[in-house]
Amino acid sequence: MYSDGDIISKQRYPSPSTKIDLYLVTYYCKGLKIKGFLAEPKEAGMYDGFLYLRGGIKNVGKVRIGRIIQFASEGFVVMAPFYRGNQGGSGNEDFGGDDRYDAIAALKLLEAYEKVNHDRIHVFGFSRGGVMALLTAIHEPQVCSVVSWGGVSDMSLTYVERKDLRRMMKRVIGGTPTKYPNRYKWRTPLYNLENLAAPVLIIHGVKDQNVSIEHSYRLEKRLKELGKDVTSWYFDKFTHYFPPFENRQTVKQLTEWMKVQG
């Protein structure tokens, strides 16, 4: 009998780096088989764990191998779930609903992994993954640090701002924020930040039109009201996607920030 986070299968996957091993893993979560990538430095030793939570839904915003290799190369074992129903996994992704448990189970996987220092797990969320990262850290107070990069913090605000996503959100969530406010509130970590223990780093491009800067402003404001440990890096000239050089610089800086937390 499997428990959440148990690895069901682990297959070697072609890695673009000679220093990083890459695996396609299937793990257990709430009766479902979830797929994801696991990237680890080849060199022996114990490493901090890094839970990478992607944005988008279904085939939009899929986990990019280059991205997780980039983080693993900074000295982390990286687990990147695809979320339920994706790339051969069972179940149906529901945009910050029950698929949050896929992230929580992936955290358990990292905690039990032989090359991971189990009390040094960091959670990173990009775009919609920002909600997933915050929900995971609220649920699991032992998380060492949280980074939200261009992250969603308010699901109702996403519905208001992204007219192109409304049909999908109504289908997946079951209706509008007006008709089902509690379904959107449940997916919005702003209402439960009292239970967050980990320090938070917020990264956002001010010109972001995919996830407006307002999401990060609301998150920062609420964390400060609660006396939580929050750091914000806002970039006036950038959108949802940073230029390559600045992207690499920011990755370097955020991983350095992570390593001094906890």
Tell me what the mean pLDDT of segment 93-119 comes to. Answer: 97
Catalytic sites, residue numbers: 127, 240
Enclosing H/E stretch for 170 = helix 166-173
pLDDT tens digits for range 25-81: 999 999 999 999 999 999 999 999 999 999 999 999 999 999 999 999 999 999 999
* Digit-coded pLDDT (tens) for 173-220: 999 999 999 999 999 999 999 999 999 999 999 999 999 999 999 999
Query: Tell me, what's the pLDDT at 262?
Result: 84
Which pLDDT band holds residue 138 (cuts at 50, 70, 90)? very high
Homologous superfamily of the 7-259 domain (CATH): Alpha/Beta hydrolase fold, catalytic domain (3.40.50.1820)
Contact 157/191 with Cβ under 8 angstroms?
Answer: no
User: DSSP E strands: which ranges in the chain?
Assistant: 7-13, 20-29, 32-41, 47-53, 76-81, 116-126, 145-149, 200-205, 230-235
Compute CA 253 distance to the chain's CA centroid, rounded to the nearest angstrom.
Answer: 18
Domain range annotation of the chain: 7-259
Calculate mean pLDDT across residues 97-111. 98
